[in-house]
Chain A
Amino acid sequence: MLKKAKLITLTLAASIALVGCSSQSTSTKSSSAEKSSATQELVVVDWGGASSVAAKKSQYEPFEKENHVKITVVSPTDVGKLKAMVQNGNVEWDVVNSDTDVALRLAKEGLLEKLDYNIIDKKDIYPEMVTDYSIGQELYYTNIAYNTELFTSDNHPKNWAEFWDTQKYPGPRTLYKNPMGTLESALLADGVEPNKLYPLDVARALKSLDKIKKDVKVWWEAGAQPPQLLATKEVAVAAAWNGRVSTAKAQGSKEENEFNQALGMSTSWVIPKGAPHKDLAQKFIAYVSKPEPQAAYSKLIDYAPTNKKALDLLPSEVKQRLGQTEKNVNPIIIDVKYWSENFDQVNEQFNKWLLQ
């Protein structure tokens, strides 16, 4: 009898455990259904870390209060998971923050809902960051950064041609081990006009990279690398993400951003196809695209707003930190449309060049 009881318990435990795998997804749904009468629920996916904390304070919480919504934040963004969710018809996410070029690819694969521009006001957002399926959330740069003990604020590489000039500005370099942005830098260094970059002349870009290859000590792959390499003087000049450098500088590292010829990149908000609370998701995107929440966010973090009106709400020292001063208001924005269509093939050429 005892044995039998044991057996039954065991089988039960096993089956519960098996069911447990699927219960995670169902539990969120049932709880949202229960609450829907009182407050609505919205699942927002972002990159986590400091940017998520800043967004919570400046954007998510005000939206929750204004609309009686409960926001659940999931991080980090995993577009592979998004694709799997949509393909299996089991979407748990309502709004997702994705790299803009990846967002375009998601749209092309039919994995996204269209954004409703009757609700979302797009007129002050950089037009390069607005598509039928995605809208820019934050602006950051891949720009020149330098060690301030090796170079001064007057005497340092101020454009990509000078970055390439290792005679005048000696010292090892580091570049992003990714063609997006790196090839643009190479072409600008070779004298291509910023407004004539696209479609990229890949062969010319690689030829330009040939000239600096021996001085590129590190091909970085993680955003945390360039500020560290600059701080320890492993390299003298870097192509880096501005936010990482300004954070390191705030913590006492001897390094600085140069925003001239900075290459603007963005992340975007998207809604997965079949998201459980699509309408609320549209409202959410409409809210966080407004100038006030965007300015509030940029005050807390090293990312600039995508809504140009938000700049008027920022104090000048914040604009300075984010590279949003008068002379930089028209940055070179990386053409994500080009990259979403050509990344595969260009990346292959770039990787081949690296392995030569």
Chain B
Amino acid sequence: MEKTEIRTFPTISQRHVSVRIPGLKWLLLVIPLIYTFLLLYFPIVNVLKLSFYDQTGFTLHYLQEILTDMLYLKVLWITVKTAFMVTVVTLVLSYPIAYLLVIMESAKMKKLILGIVMVTLWISLLVRTFSWSVILQDHGIINDYLMKLNIIHEPLKLLYNNTGVITGMTHILLPYMVLSLYSVMERIDLRLIQAAQGMGARPWRSFVQIFFPLSLPGVMSGSLIVFVLGLGYFITPALLGGQDNMMISKLIQQNIQNTLNWNLASALSIVLLATTFLLLGFAYWISRFSPILKGDN
């Protein structure tokens, strides 16, 4: 063995090393890929298979049940609607924060604000959700203060309806949006704005025509992350929502852990996955019309 090796590579030890390194890189790529495949895709495919196969063999019964039963379509619609509204609210709240982070000069303040945004990620989801129910309830701080100040005379209905769900979910998903926006905005060359203003553009105009369009890739990626994450939520809607805040993941969970109807659960997952892909495809299709979103940036 040793002999052959010496004979094959007698003098090119230098090159020998440079050949080895790309191999190492491939290995570094292949191992995580095998990992992901074995631990993620393989089980997912196995679970999704259940929506077409049950004890009796191939069947479209479960998918048919979902697509013909108003209940499931309605819940799917509520799920998509909730995720969409949360995305919009999150975007509106996050954009100024991210913008502030970019134009701010004090590095200390920047760190502080980022820290405040990030800290919410480290608090348990259940704790945050229950805290919201304490804040938003009829005799919570918001309603109590507004009533004391005589602004309202009846407590506002902030909980156990859409308002509660969207408040809670927005709070949880906000950091993802801020970070996506910030990562893109940070790379925008602020001299472009100076140049625009130097040419006589008013601040709002330089923002609308220069900064905002350049930040669109961040808006896009942040919205997609928040939207897709929002589609899978069920604990927060369950605790802060009313009788019609029903999310599809709740039905999936019920079918897996309670009624043990894995076939229906799997079919519901497929429908949710397909809906997600459809909506993502739609977003991709829209972005084709914008040179910035296409990724030339």
A binding-site residues for B, Cβ under 8 Å: 3-4, 7, 10-11, 14, 18, 21, 78-80, 83, 99, 102, 105-106, 109, 177, 213, 216-219, 221-222, 224-225, 228, 232-234, 343-344, 347-348, 351-352, 354-355
Residues of chain A contacted by B262 (CB below 8 angstroms): 83
- CB-contact partner of A344 in B24, B133, B261, under 8 A: B261
Contact between B160 and A217, CB atoms less than 8 A apart:
yes
Q: Determine whether the beta carbon of A80 is less than 8 Å from that of B70.
A: no
Known contacts A221-B239, A355-B75; is-contact A79 B257 (Cβ 8 Å): yes
**Interface positions of B (Cβ within 8 A of A):** 17, 20-21, 24, 27-28, 31, 34-35, 38-39, 69-71, 74-75, 78, 130, 133-134, 137-139, 160, 238-239, 242-244, 246, 251, 254, 256-262
Closest 7 CB pairs of A and B: A221-B238, A354-B243, A14-B31, A80-B256, A219-B243, A80-B257, A352-B71
A337 to B137, CA, bound (A): 39
Using known A-B contacts A78-B257, A348-B71, determine if residue A10 contacts B27 with beta carbons closer than 8 Å.
Answer: yes
Contact of B246 with A7 in the complex, beta carbons under 8 Å: no
Docked CA distance A10–B243 (Å): 54
Residues of A within 8 A of B251 (CB): 351
Nearest Cβ in chain B — how far from A96, in angstroms?
A: 13
- In the bound complex, what is the Cα–Cα distance between A146 and B233 (angstroms)? 31
> Nearest Cβ distance between residue B230 and chain A, in whole angstroms?
18
Cβ contacts under 8 Å, B244 to chain A? 354-355
Contact of A232 among B28, B31, B137, B257 (CB under 8 A): B137
What is the bound-complex CA distance between A7 and B24, given in angstroms?
7
Closest-by-CB residue of B relative to A343 is: B259
Contacts of A354 in B (CB 8 A): 243-244, 246
Residues of chain B within 8 A (CB-CB) of A232 are 134, 137, 139
- Contact: B27 with A7, CB < 8 Å? yes
Please state if B27 and A351 are interface contacts (CB–CB under 8 Å).
Answer: no
> Which of B28, B31, B238, B243 is within 8 Å of A222, CB to CB?
B238
Question: Which of A213, A233, A234 has the most chain B CB atoms closer than 10 A to its own CB?
Answer: A234
What residues of chain A lie closer than 8 Å to B260, measured between beta carbons? 79-80, 83, 102, 105-106, 109
A234 cross-chain contacts in B, Cβ below 8 A: 137-139
Give bound CA distance, A219 to B244, whole Å. 10
Complex Cα distance, B254 from A102, in Å, reads: 11
Cβ–Cβ < 8 Å partners of A213 in chain B: 243
CB-CB < 8 A to A10: which residues of B?
24, 27-28
Question: CB distance B242 to A355 under 8 Å?
Answer: no
Shortest distance between the CB of A157 and any CB in chain B (Å): 21
The smallest beta-carbon distance between A78 and chain B, in angstroms, is 7
9 more A-B contacts (CB under 8 A) besides A83-B262, A228-B130, A234-B138? A7-B24, A10-B27, A80-B260, A99-B258, A102-B260, A105-B260, A222-B238, A222-B239, A347-B254
- Known interface pairs A79-B257, A222-B239. Does A355 touch B74 (Cβ–Cβ under 8 Å)? yes
Report Cα–Cα, A310/B43, bound state, in Å.
46
Distance in angstroms from A219 CB to nearest chain B CB is 5
Q: Please name the residue on chain A nearest to B34 by beta carbon.
A: A18
Q: A232-B137, A234-B137 are in contact. Are A216 and B243 (CB under 8 A)?
A: yes
A221 contacts which chain B residues (CB < 8 A)?
238-239
Cα distance, A95 to B221, chains bound together (Å): 47
Look across to chain B and name the residue whose beta carbon is closest to the beta carbon of A4.
B20
Report the minimum CB–CB distance from A198 to chain B (whole Å): 19
Q: Are A355 and B261 in contact (CB under 8 A)?
A: no
Q: Are B246 and A3 in contact (CB under 8 A)?
A: no
CB–CB A351/B20 < 8 A: no
Shortest Cβ gap from A25 to chain B (Å): 15
Q: What is the bound-complex CA distance between A79 and B139, given in angstroms?
A: 39
Q: Which residue of A lies closest to B69 (CB)?
A: A348
The distance from the CB of A239 to the nearest CB of chain B, in whole angstroms, is 14
Minimal Cβ-Cβ distance residue in B for A106: B260
Please state if A102 and B258 are interface contacts (CB–CB under 8 Å). Answer: yes
B183 to chain A, nearest CB (A): 30
Q: Which residues of A contact B160 (CB under 8 A)?
A: 217-218
Q: How far is the CB of B98 from chain A (nearest CB, A)?
A: 34
How far, in angstroms, from A352 to B70 measured CA to CA in the complex? 8
Chain B residues positioned under 8 Å from A79 (CB to CB): 257-258, 260
Min distance, Cβ A172 to any Cβ of chain B, angstroms: 9
**Which B residues lie within 8 Å of A222 (CB)?**
238-239
